[in-house]
Chain A
Amino acid sequence: MNKDKINILLVEDREEDAELTMMALRKDKFNGQVYWTKDGDEAINFLLEQPDPEIIKNLRLILLDVNIPKLNGLEVLKRIKNSHLRGIPVVMLTTSNHEKDVTTAYDNYVNSYLLKPVRFDQFQLFIERVRYYWTDLNVAHF
């Protein structure tokens, strides 16, 4: 497998958080491409109206923030899991462990649900572990 061709989609409305994630991935020597969309509409458009099939083919992970504008994270999850792209792992990221959101996410077949570390010094390791798990160990993709 050519790791350079691996793509990750990041769905995050806060620029600072998105930059932090992308920086952590670069530091982790992730050589693939990270695509960033800022809200739910943009994410769905990117995924379902994507003109380049290669981008989707090499997409190994969708990192989806729960609280994003326009279409929220749970709605985006539902649309993905009800589409032909349901095989792409969706990992939801949140800062609050709101029980109802977690249950709804699992009911809609989220692959994994993660609490973002609050402490900045834990963030790098967090991103590295998540990236490693979904792009190196997990092979659930079609």
Chain B
Amino acid sequence: MDNLEAKILLAEDRMEDAHLTHFALEEAGFVAMLHWVKNGEEALEYLKCEGVYKERSPIKPKMILMDLKMPKLDGIETLKIIKSDKRYLSIPVIMLTTSREEVDRIRAIENHANSYIVKPVDSEKFSQTVKALGEYWMERNFGVEG
């Protein structure tokens, strides 16, 4: 999960959830494109090619899967920064969360999340959901290259 020119950036602090997402994307054939970061701060460093990513070539991911509750910089704050920066706002950000709370959803929408997905508790359903969103954003959605 350390592809430095990844097409899918996964920001998720819980290892178990990251692994489930990894396996689902693997089944759907997208796993080679995945890079996993554990919080919002790391996600921004990855995008900006800073810190441990300073040697990375500045290729934008095709999608960002972002958890809501993360340490250091949470999902909403990270989303806000991405969507207020002209360089990155064209990258689809999909909030992938266990939260069914209205307030979280509204904050995500107000900050221009492209999509908001509630993680199914059932692992089979979770796997299907991740696969479907991988296919949608990787194969159907037309993004801005570069």
Residues of A bordering B, CB below 8 Å = 86-87, 89, 97, 99, 102-103, 106-107, 109, 111-115, 126, 129-130, 132-133, 137-142
Among B115, B129, B145, which residue has its beta carbon within 8 angstroms of that of A111?
A: B115
**Nearest 8 interchain pairs by C-beta:** A140-B116, A106-B90, A87-B109, A113-B142, A133-B136, A109-B112, A138-B115, A112-B141
Q: How far apart sit A137 and B142, CA to CA, in the bound complex (Å)?
A: 19
Q: How far apart sit A51 and B121, CA to CA, in the bound complex (Å)?
A: 39
B135 within 8 A of A: yes
Chain A CB within 10 Å, residue with most, of B89, B108, B109, B135: B109
Residues of B within 8 A of A132 (CB): 132
Q: A86-B109, A138-B117 are in contact. Are A113 and B143 (CB under 8 A)?
A: yes
Range for the number of chain B residues in contact with chain A: 20 to 34
Residues of A within 8 A of B143 (CB): 102, 106, 113
Q: How far apart sit A120 and B109, CA to CA, in the bound complex (Å)?
A: 34
Q: Which residue of A lies closest to B111 (CB)?
A: A109
Among B106, B112, B144, which residue has its beta carbon within 8 angstroms of that of A102?
A: B144
**In the bound complex, do residue B133 and residue A137 qualify as a contact, i.e. CB atoms below 8 Å apart?**
yes
Q: A106-B90, A140-B113 are in contact. Are A130 and B105 (CB under 8 A)?
A: no
CB distance from A69 to the nearest CB of B (A): 23
**In the bound complex, do residue B90 and residue A137 qualify as a contact, i.e. CB atoms below 8 Å apart?**
no
Among B90, B108, B109, B141, which residue has its beta carbon within 8 angstroms of that of A114?
A: B141
Q: How far apart sit A97 and B144, CA to CA, in the bound complex (Å)?
A: 10
